[in-house]
Amino acid sequence: MKFNAPRGTNDILPPDSLKWQYIEQKTHQLFSNYNYQEIRTPIFEYTELFQRGIGEVTDIVEKEMYTFTDKGDRSITLRPEGTASVMRSFMENKIYGQAQPTKFYYLGPMFRYERPQSGRFRQFHQLGVEALGSNDPALDAEIISLGLRLLQDFGLNDLTLHLNSVGCSECRPAYVEKLKNYLLAHRAELCENCQQRIERNPLRVLDCKNEACQEVIAEAPKITENLCSDCADHFSDVKKYLELVEIDYFVNPLLVRGLDYYTNTAFEIKDNALGAQDTVFGGGRYNGLAEEIGGRSLPGIGFALGIERLLLSLEAKDIELPIPAGVDLYITVIGEKAKRKAFKLLDQLRNNGFRTEIDYLGRSVGSQMKSADRMQAEFTIILGEDELNKDSATIRNMKTGTEIEIKLSNLLTEMKQLVDKEDL
């Protein structure tokens, strides 16, 4: 019997897992500078939370959820995204009782039954932020700047910010009506899918990839020209705040989120070097979501970034993350007595922050040296009876070939001098 990982999932193996750790560390650091704090919610929730929180008329809820009935006969769904859970937790734990806004971030696996392809998986990982409790346009700009800053910290600059406003419950219904009438007049030119969407959710026609639909859409009424004055002001303030921190944007009136609880700002960050799956992160305001999942009225804004897409972007640009290469010291041993001594030395070195390794397969000296090479050891040392008796050994810099004699009992002090602790 041979087992494969389920379709659309990936094992994250070393050294790749080190990249993931690096990305996660950077995230924790940067997000804390912006005063966002980590929240960890369950990997699964009651299905209804996502039906309400994501919306029945979405691809995610209609086609992509991993839903099952548990042994207690409850309908459970593996989380396909993070916002609904964060909002649920915010309400359940009455966090609205604390000083606002609340700024959360999360990081972890999400599950969607999609057709696996480059940049699209069934288990994938998102890092996301949610700022709850304020409708300040400065917060919209902060969220966008945070995401862009994170990508910049990884060396990604060739990005385009697509920005739009989708209005609010005041101005959107009239716009949707206008759009519907326009689409009905062009019904015959639209793809079959979009023909059905006209009645169910006409906004979703705007992001159809079909060429014929694109032509119709290009001439459609634009939401940006149909905003009420509050929404127009909000949008113009977001743009001003972005300009303040020198973030370029491209207003894309076709960028919409199809659901009623999305309001005002919508955005996507695209990597110009990626092909079909080029959106690295996207998000927007959802001032109507809290009410939708049974709570009070509460403004919110957030984004979610796909970590696999981020890694693809880095790959496309040949950007290497500064992950630690190998061990600091490999101790090659000859004989059992030397091994025991080495084992003790390892313990001391590791407790002092050095990455060290020895052989566990009784290999010859030659094979041990090969292992050291494979592990990209920065230094090696050979320990035999002789070295033990004389309390002296030769430590070798594997890159330069330089060797120095040291007292074995001084190994820790010597290593401290040899290895630049800065990059430990």
Q: Binding site for L-histidine: residue ranges?
A: 81-83, 112, 126, 130, 257, 261-262
Site for ligand ATP (CB under 6 A): which residue of 120, 149, 178, 339? 120
What is the Cβ-side half-sphere exposure of residue 155, based on CA atoms within 13 angstroms? 13
Q: How far apart are CA 193 and CA 40, in angstroms?
A: 37
DSSP sequence for 216-239: HHHTSPPGGGS--HHHHHHHHHHH
How many other CB atoms sit within 10 Å of the CB of residue 295?
15
**Planar angle of CA 74, 78, 82, nearest 5 degrees:** 120
Kindly state whether residue 83 participates in binding ligand ATP, applying the rule CB under 6 A: no
DSSP sequence for 82-112: SHHHHHHHHHHTTGGGSSS-EEEEEEEEEE-
Site for ligand ATP (CB under 6 A): which residue of 176, 280, 331, 338? 280
Site for ligand ATP (CB under 6 A): which residue of 79, 309, 355, 396? 309
Please, what is the minimum distance in Å from the beta carbon of residue 278 to ligand ATP? 8
How many other CB atoms sit within 10 Å of the CB of residue 58?
19
Kindly state whether residue 124 participates in binding ligand ATP, applying the rule CB under 6 A: yes
Site for ligand ATP (CB under 6 A): which residue of 105, 106, 121, 267? 121
Q: Is 35 helix (H, G, I), strand (E, B) or coil?
A: coil
Kindly state whether residue 298 participates in binding ligand ATP, applying the rule CB under 6 A: no
Please, what is the minimum distance in Å from the beta carbon of residue 282 to ligand ATP? 4
Kindly state whether residue 302 participates in binding ligand ATP, applying the rule CB under 6 A: no
Beta bridge partners, 329, equal: 356, 379
Contact segment (CB under 6 A) with ligand ATP among 23-31, 197-205, 273-281, 404-412 equals: 273-281
Site for ligand ATP (CB under 6 A): which residue of 10, 49, 67, 81? 81
Residues 163-202 as x/- pattern, contact with ligand ATP by CB under 6 A: ----------------------------------------
Strand bridging mode 159-165 / 250-251: parallel
Kindly state whether residue 316 participates in binding ligand ATP, applying the rule CB under 6 A: no
DSSP state of 319: P
Q: How far apart are CA 139 and CA 301, in angstroms?
A: 8
Kindly state whether residue 299 participates in binding ligand ATP, applying the rule CB under 6 A: no
Please, what is the minimum distance in Å from the beta carbon of residue 30 to ligand ATP? 18
User: What is the contact surface with ligand ATP in residues (CB under 6 A)?
Assistant: 81, 112, 114, 119-121, 124, 126, 277, 279-282, 304-306, 308-309
